[in-house]
Homo-oligomer: A and B are copies of this chain.
Amino acid sequence: MTGLVEVFTGNGKGKTAAALGIVLRALGHGLRVCIVYFMKGDYPYGEQKILAQLPNASLVRFGQISFVDPLNVKEEEKEQARGALLAAREAMFSGNYDIIVLDEANLAAAWKLVDVGDIVEVIKQKPRDVELILTGRYADDKLIELADLVTEMVEIKHPYKKGVLSREGIDY
């Protein structure tokens, strides 16, 4: 099966969630999946607990629990994101995975934690059978151009604007 390059971007909720949903379906069909977190890898995301129990799912987490400030990116945050890209590349060439999710890779590039050219290189070297899924806001035009499938999640309504805070179990 030819693997594609999928990009989920935009300002609306559902980008990482869509990648996770694709992962869930793929696992059900016996495919092997690796999720590489480029940022906030230490965040207590609920999916990690479930996926850790499933034999065909691997998680590789980079980034601290704290949120990156795009106006004040720290050197260690860049190192973490570059480590994530290396891990994604390694997973891609390992032959162990059918799908690799590069979670928040779009944003990591937009905020210059990694060079977008380095992500482009990884995509261009993708083995035929591997599917790559990139999530995050502000996907660079170069990534969109290389992608086979791009969905923009557009925020039509969001409760944070009404003062509802992020809720455990629903939003992370």
A residues lining the B interface (CB < 8 Å): 1-2, 4, 6, 8, 10, 12-31, 45-51, 54, 98-99, 131, 144, 147-159, 162, 164, 167-172
Contacts and interface: CB of A to CB of B under 8 A. Distances in A.
Contact of A24 (B6, B29, B50, B157): B50
A124 B1 CA distance: 45
A1 B159 CA distance: 14
Pick from A17, A99, A154, A172 the residue with the most CB of B within 10 Å: A17
Given A20-B21, A24-B50, A26-B46, A148 B170 contact: no
A8 B2 contact: no
* Identical copies of this chain, number: 2
B48 A159 contact: no
B149 A157 contact: yes
A162 B5 CA distance: 13
Given A24-B47, A25-B47, A152 B156 contact: yes
Given A1-B167, A25-B171, A148-B159, 20 more contacts: A1-B169, A12-B151, A13-B149, A14-B14, A14-B15, A17-B17, A17-B20, A18-B153, A19-B21, A23-B24, A24-B24, A25-B172, A27-B46, A28-B46, A28-B47, A28-B169, A50-B54, A131-B170, A151-B156, A154-B154
B157 A31 contact: no
Contacts of A17: 17-22, 25
A25 B13 contact: no
Nearest to A98: B169
A120 to B, nearest CB: 16
A46 B29 contact: yes
26 contacts: A1-B167, A1-B170, A4-B164, A8-B14, A12-B151, A13-B151, A14-B15, A16-B21, A17-B18, A17-B19, A17-B21, A17-B22, A17-B25, A19-B21, A20-B25, A21-B23, A22-B170, A24-B46, A25-B47, A25-B171, A28-B45, A29-B169, A148-B157, A149-B158, A150-B155, A152-B156
